[in-house]
Chain A
Amino acid sequence: MSRELGSVGKSLPKVDAAAKVRGQAVYADDINLPRMLHCKILRAQAPHARILSIDTSAARRLPGVVAILTGADLPIRFGILPVSQDEAALEGDKVRYVGDPVAAVAAQDEETAAAACEAIKVEYEELKPVMTIAEALREAADEPIQEVLSKRRDNLHRLVSYEFGDLEGGFARAHLVREDVFFYQGNTHLPMEQHSAVATYVEGRVTLWSSTQVVHYVHRALSRVLELPMNRIRVVGAAHGGGFGGKTDPFAHELVVAKLAMVTGRPVKCTLTREEVFYAHRGRHPTLMWYRTGVDREGRITAMHVKTALDGGAYGSYGAASVFYTGTLQTVTYDVPAYKFEGARVYTNKAPCGPKRGHGTPQGRFGVELHLEKIAHDLGMDPIELKRRNFVKPFSRAVNWLRITSCGLEECTEKVLSASGYTSRERRPGRGLGFAISAYMSGAGTAIYWNDMPHSEVQLKVDRTGATVYCGAMDIGQGSDSVLAQIAAEELGLQPGDLRLVTADTDTTPVDLGSYSSRVTFMAGNACLEAARKMRNLLVEAVAERMGVADLEEIEVGEGRVGEFSFEEACVIASTRFGALSTTGSYKPPRIGGPFKGSGVGPSPAYSYSAAVVEVEADGRTGIVEVKRVWIAHDIGRAINPLLVIGQVEGSVYMGLGEALMEEQEYRKGLHKWPSMLEYKSPTFLETPPIETFLVETVDPEGPYGAKEAGQGPLLPVIPALNAAVFDALGVWIDEIPVTPEKVLRALESKAKGAEPRYGPKVFPEVPYPEPIKVEPPAPDDLRVGAELETAFPEGPRVR
């Protein structure tokens, strides 16, 4: 970057902060329209049952009830992934978990709608529920949960198996081979805002305001299920009260209110209760993991074999991708010369799992970090030294073909080690420090549904009244609108507050694939950068002409001026010269994935890197673990707004600590054990320790101004670092999360008896993984992507 940056790199307030601190931001449930009806959804009370009959006659007779829908009214199945179209807005034949939507009522007020739901009589034939991974692997007692899709008699949803490089040879030359089993409990997003949607049907067009992370995917699902062309549907992202991945799927209530608006001709709103939010879920998959790794005498990895089994709940959701993510990103932090990954996802009669912050990778990260810790102890080596010896190199290619660009692993490690005083720490029982690292994608390299179009599009309009950015990206609180404003402001020489933003409205904004996968800064940011540079060039060209300057480089843009004119004057000059001023930008990641089937999950144009040290006080008498402090360093590439990046890092650490210590989506007798905020424990002010954040800027060649992601990666190292700290404090391994006092005490008992000083799963189940797809690894310095890579492998899959 030759010139000095103006807006980019500054810790500026968010562009929507004023509205939010004054209670003026309009969230979906804040929308009240004339004649609006209220919708309540009747949900299954049995975990697994066939629906024999639904009788709505009594409910229809209640005064104030305007319309009732059942499965027959919305028969078309949908799902976020093309391979998992296994959900219905309302289930007509069968329910698969307690909370599955069965019928919906629109009434004049919420209480009447709720009373009508109670008056609907559903006759069920109960089937045996499947509540664990082990049960799901066995032949179904009655019938499989997703019997329509599956030809199988068990409840396996997906199986994947890959082998990269010479696994046998790698293990054969190892000095030490170790196996471990880990369990990562499921947990949920718990956004403060309950999901909510409001629909209208006017002039044959549906408009839906929703609390969603992706207006485009909701748009697609509405079009499919309502059988309306997309040009007759408008989806608007209302102000967003927190997602963390939990509002990335299209949901039943969104489809239902749209249909009810069509049926009644009136606006219809549905806001989920907190209990229903627990059922909507799509949270962290409970995951069993098995690791086998060989290392040489110096602790260098010679081969690694990972098996995972994910408890998916009742529907597919993002699960076909989630299963890959549990085994894909280990190789972008550690140099593994031979790697085998086998993954499985099963259906169970629980609320469907999906993407939660880190999407599938926190499980794999938890496993690999603790596994390497144990190997280091076996070797008598410092775990950090062992990990460092295996760090990947910047600008290299992993054994599973993932391309690594900028990588600040070493710098991040250095920062947290020196800040925490890890190496010189005082060793005493009950106090411990633990260290871990991680990596995460700056947006998935492949779209969810196959297409070659851009992943993000931005339009920029300038006229005599100023500049407006249009983008389909949804600000879910992370500040993506602010990032777009800061980038456009940078290029146009303005302040972010000078920009007007129109985002997440399918009628007026070009498509962006939304707020998930940590993609917005990278992808929408790059699209915005392109549009803004084009606009800057138009302004500069017109101003240069007016000034009689031949060399465009002489025209300076900044501080609200273009050359010798104010920005407003420049707009008038450029409009006079060119007519209407509108520029566009788009971003599509290069094809990065390797030349084999299934290479689409894991590639990203850039990976962020993090390192963390967690300090705990662990009481051997009570088993209580208290986190005293967290040091975290994050390789952000470049911080477009350091204040917002630090906010993402601190929020990630907090959420990671919640997962590590207390949060769990647990079931008993087919029922969610604690679908309320009081019983589902999450950290308050009092449980959240001081967090020291360090930003490392490696300036990625492909990120906008070098920026990478911040929203998810920093969660990942926190969890294994906490478990490593517990070992440091008490000498016991807790090989599953959450680390509850009971588990700590049981591990200590085991240690006292001379048994293994650990608590955790003992065995990994037998899973019928298929024969692996064997893939030749790339040369570690092969960084080719896109057309270059494709033409290098004209013969197609490169399989051994």
Chain B
Amino acid sequence: MPGALDRDVQREVVRLHLNGDDVETLVPVHKTLLEVLREDLGLTGTKHGCELGECGTCTVLVDGRPMLSCLLLPLQVEGRAVTTIEGLAEGPVDHPLQAAFTELAAAQCGYCTPGMLLAAKSLLDDNPKPSRVEIQEALAGNLCRCTGYLKIVEAVELAAGRMA
């Protein structure tokens, strides 16, 4: 297995529309989007729980769709709009989901929260008035060990109500 230091590792310039900014970076082609976001671009708000696509913690939005950044290579999303947790708020103003998560203590340890918020944003963008079951189904790929999920569902409902 070649280390990243290996001179033969292929590198490519990747362009992303990242949280509203046009970003260009040179990365080894085998590094995942998760690694590039966290290690090369300094966006550590995106977390990881398994790096095998099992837990949903590393969820980001690609053109508005929730995707697991640990299973994506940056070249696969070349030129597309990527939203991470750092891009969810409008400047100093929290997204209604962030406000609702805060108010209802839907974030305990907070580690699954970025992925959870982005998956929920995608849901509400598509379906502004989801039923409880639709929320549970949309977020079922995101694991949380602290909350028992209830406060998260309630926070999504609260935000949906306010955004309507």
Contacts and interface: CB of A to CB of B under 8 A. Distances in A.
Contacts of B94: 18, 21-22
Interface string B102-119: 111101111111100100
Interface in A184-233: 189-194
Interface in B28-66: 38-39, 42-52, 54-55, 57
A22 B104 contact: no
Nearest to A482: B105
A64 B49 contact: no
Nearest to B153: A685
Given A650-B148, A686-B137, A691-B148, A478 B108 contact: yes
Q: Considering residues A14, A20, A109, A243, which has the most beta carbons from chain B within 10 angstroms of its beta carbon?
A: A20
A676 interface: yes
Interface stretch (B10-18, B71-79, B84-92): B84-92
A676 B103 CA distance: 33
A711 B141 CA distance: 25
Given A193-B111, A688-B150, A109 B139 contact: no
B109 A193 contact: yes
A686 B108 contact: no
B149 A685 contact: yes
Interface string A59-82: 000111000000000000000000
Contact of A686 (B5, B43, B136): B136
B108 A192 contact: no
Contacts of B152: 685
Contacts of A109: 3-5
A101 B22 CA distance: 44
A20 B107 contact: yes
Nearest to A107: B3
B1 A192 contact: no
B139 to A, nearest CB: 5
B147 to A, nearest CB: 6
Nearest to A271: B48
A17 B114 contact: no
Interface residues of A, number: 65
Contacts of B26: none
Contacts of A22: 45, 85-86, 88-89, 94, 98
A243 to B, nearest CB: 8
B151 interface: yes
B143 A686 contact: no
Contacts of B141: 684
Given A17-B102, A477-B146, A676-B52, A685 B111 contact: no
A476 B146 CA distance: 10
A674 to B, nearest CB: 11
Interface string A21-49: 11111110110100000000000000000
Interface string A633-654: 0000000000110010011111
A14 B107 contact: yes
A263 interface: no
B39 A21 contact: no
B162 interface: no
A240 B143 CA distance: 16
Interface stretch (A90-98, A111-119, A498-506): A111-119
B124 interface: no
A239 B139 CA distance: 24
A488 interface: no
Contacts of B108: 242, 477-479, 647, 651
B23 interface: no
Contacts of A537: none
A240 B54 contact: no
24 contacts: A13-B102, A18-B94, A21-B101, A22-B86, A25-B110, A64-B3, A107-B3, A109-B4, A111-B1, A111-B3, A115-B1, A115-B3, A192-B57, A192-B145, A239-B110, A243-B109, A477-B109, A477-B146, A650-B147, A651-B145, A651-B147, A677-B54, A678-B52, A685-B136
Interface of B: 1-6, 38-39, 42-52, 54-55, 57, 84-86, 88-89, 94, 98, 101-105, 107-114, 117, 135-137, 139-153
